[in-house]
Amino acid sequence: MPILPIDTGRYGTPEMRRVFEEEYRVQKMLNVEAALAWAHAEVGDISKEDAEKIVAMASLEHVRLSRIKEIEREVKHDVFALVKALAEVCGPSGAYVHLGATSSDILDTATALQLKEALRLIEEKLNVLEKVLMEKAEKYKDTLIIGRTHGQHAVPTTLGFKFAVWMREISRHIQRIRQVKERVIVGKMSGAVGTQAGLGSHAIKIQELVMKKLGLKPTEVSTQIVQRDRYAELVCLLAIVASTLDKFATEIRQLQRPEIGEVFEPFQVGKQVGSSTMPHKRNPITCERICGLAKIMRSLVFPALENIKTWHERDLTQSSAERFIIPEACIIIDYMLFLMTNIIENLRVDEKRMMKNIDLTKGRVMSEAVMIALTERGFSRQEAHELLRKLTVKSEMEDKHFRDVLLEDETVREKLSVKEIDELLNPANYLGTALEQIDRAIKKTEEERRKRGLSD
């Protein structure tokens, strides 16, 4: 009976869950055993016929999962159980199953095969999200929105600029994923403590052949296990990606609040229920789900780091932790990317509300623009800042539009005309290089995508 929400199907995409299903992992382990037998035959350690028999039988079609579990209950060793079950169906050729290998040769190389597929799926979803953000950056390049610092109104920016910033963050994660694959997707065939003693005189060639057959790189050097700094780096990276998605989701949740009401995550008006008791509610539940899962992702970093240390050439303290953290990290981040892409792609934007919110402070958000203009007319920056500070306080305390306060001030009127003041108070005139930065960010992203072999 399923217990965890990944098992029940609540979280995770079908394609990523499949990579970490028990049957799928066992088949990857059998693939490693088959590649090992083939390599032994290639160097002349065993006959071609024996290798062909092992290769032919190294499948769940012949090696039953139920039989592996039956043996494991007796011997209390999962890899030994798999080896014995495979040997049983191979007849006399079974004598050469697992020749010269240790359990971690099979386990770690099978993990590399799983991670190769998992990281392909994750990179694909990052590519899709990057594209969606690029499209939104272009679409909303000129859409004004108030910039906020400390949760307070700052100066105007554009919604497209916000998306461009997010886009480049995802671009960096794609670069990191592509880099980390070089260090994480590695296998080994090096025996009990890494010396390859049990593999005989052709040991180095055997490892090379096995990895080539499986489409993996061999480790440069290892003990009984692939060193866990590799997996720790991956889990840390996936937690960073999760924190980025957490940031996106938190921003959308904030902007969806009724008192702000600028952007909204998708909501199926005809069917979706926001609350079991309050019919009017449209809760940002998908963004909240992303934020919640990000907590789990970050929690996986600690055991991943703890797994780096081991007694001498290997102990078993990594094993139990990794059975949780590697599948969970990949399944959860893949699902979070799927959710976020759907949110951004179908985001509802209220441009009128954005303009209304810019006007909430009655023009005071343009005080910096006026200050800069006064410095260009002979004021020191400090003098201009103090004058504008006092005038913004007056505007707020007297509940008067900032334009009116500026027009009433003799010092300001001596330096600036009515037309100039009106131009300075227009949010669209105070975007600096925002539009240029958006264009440059999009161009850079397009160039990087072409280098990755993406046509759009």
> CA 136, CA 156: separation in Å to the nearest integer?
18
Q: Are 158 and 166 in contact (CB under 8 A)?
A: no
Name the catalytic one among 275, 299, 320, 380. 275
Nearest CA-CA partner of 186 in 208, 216, 150: 216
Query: Residue 156's beta-bridge partner residues?
Result: 146
> CA 173, CA 247: separation in Å to the nearest integer?
14
Q: Are 384 and 375 in contact (CB under 8 A)?
A: yes
> CA 366, CA 141: separation in Å to the nearest integer?
20
> CA 430, CA 420: separation in Å to the nearest integer?
13
Name the catalytic one among 150, 312, 417, 455. 150
Annotate 282-311 with DSSP letters as a single string. ---HHHHHHHHHHHHHHHTHHHHHHTT--S
Nearest CA-CA partner of 256 in 363, 343, 378, 197: 343
275 is catalytic: yes
Phi first, then psi, for residue 76 (nearest 5°) are 60, 40
150 is catalytic: yes
> CA 336, CA 232: separation in Å to the nearest integer?
20
Nearest CA-CA partner of 233 in 183, 166, 159: 183
Take residue 53 and report the two structure tokens written for it: 């028999």
Phi first, then psi, for residue 146 (nearest 5°) are -75, 135
Phi first, then psi, for residue 118 (nearest 5°) are -65, -45
Residue with tokens 């066992």: 26
Q: Which residues of 201-234 are buried (b: 16+ CB within 10 A; e: fewer)?
A: ebbeebbebbbebbebebbeebbbbbbbebbbbb
Nearest CA-CA partner of 109 in 200, 246, 206: 206
The residues, ordered by sequence, that sit 6+ positions from 286 with a Cβ below 8 Å of its Cβ are: 249, 265, 266, 339, 342, 343
Residue with tokens 């050097």: 221
Overall residue count recorded for the chain in this entry? 456
Take residue 92 and report the two structure tokens written for it: 């006399």
Burial of 283 (0-12, 13-18, 19+ CB in 10 A): middle
Residues carrying an active site annotation: 150, 275
